[in-house]
């Protein structure tokens, strides 16, 4: 048995499962972040051919859409990580 950062006793198998799910979540969030931080701005010129709420779509996605996506990603990552921690008994 090993201890986590909070002093909770957990098995090596549980630690590996927890880390695998945490790693997968982190990779997913980083892929989504890359998409909203680089892919949308890269194609802003092409997206400007369409409009959303009266704004060119490329402009809107770079200014408002990406910010909203980042806030949602932060909330979802924290929510999902809390569920993973609870599943493995290492919640705070």
CA 4 to each of CA 26, 40, 65, 72, 86: distance values in angstroms, whole numbers, following the listed order = 19, 39, 38, 28, 13
Cα(38)–Cα(61) distance, rounded to whole angstroms? 11
Domain boundaries, the chain: 10-84
Say how many C-beta atoms besides its own lie within 10 A of residue 32's C-beta. 16
Residue 9 has pLDDT above 80, yes or no: no
The pLDDT tens digits of the residues spanning 37-57 come to: 898 788 888 888 988 888 888
Task: Judge whether 22 and 70 are in contact, CB under 8 Å.
Answer: no
Cα(51)–Cα(49) distance, rounded to whole angstroms? 7
pTM: 0.75
Residue 26 has pLDDT above 90, yes or no: yes
Structure token digits, residue 60: 């809107």
């Amino acid at each position: 048995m090993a201890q986590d950062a909070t002093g909770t006793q957990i098995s090596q198998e549980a630690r590996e499962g927890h880390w695998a799910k945490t790693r997968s979540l982190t990779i997913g969030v980083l892929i989504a972040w890359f998409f909203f931080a680089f892919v949308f701005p890269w194609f802003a010129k092409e997206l400007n051919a369409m409009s959303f709420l009266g704004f060119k779509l490329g402009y809107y996605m770079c200014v408002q859409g990406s910010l909203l996506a980042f806030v949602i990603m932060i909330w979802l990552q924290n929510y999902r990580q809390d569920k993973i921690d609870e599943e493995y008994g290492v919640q705070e």
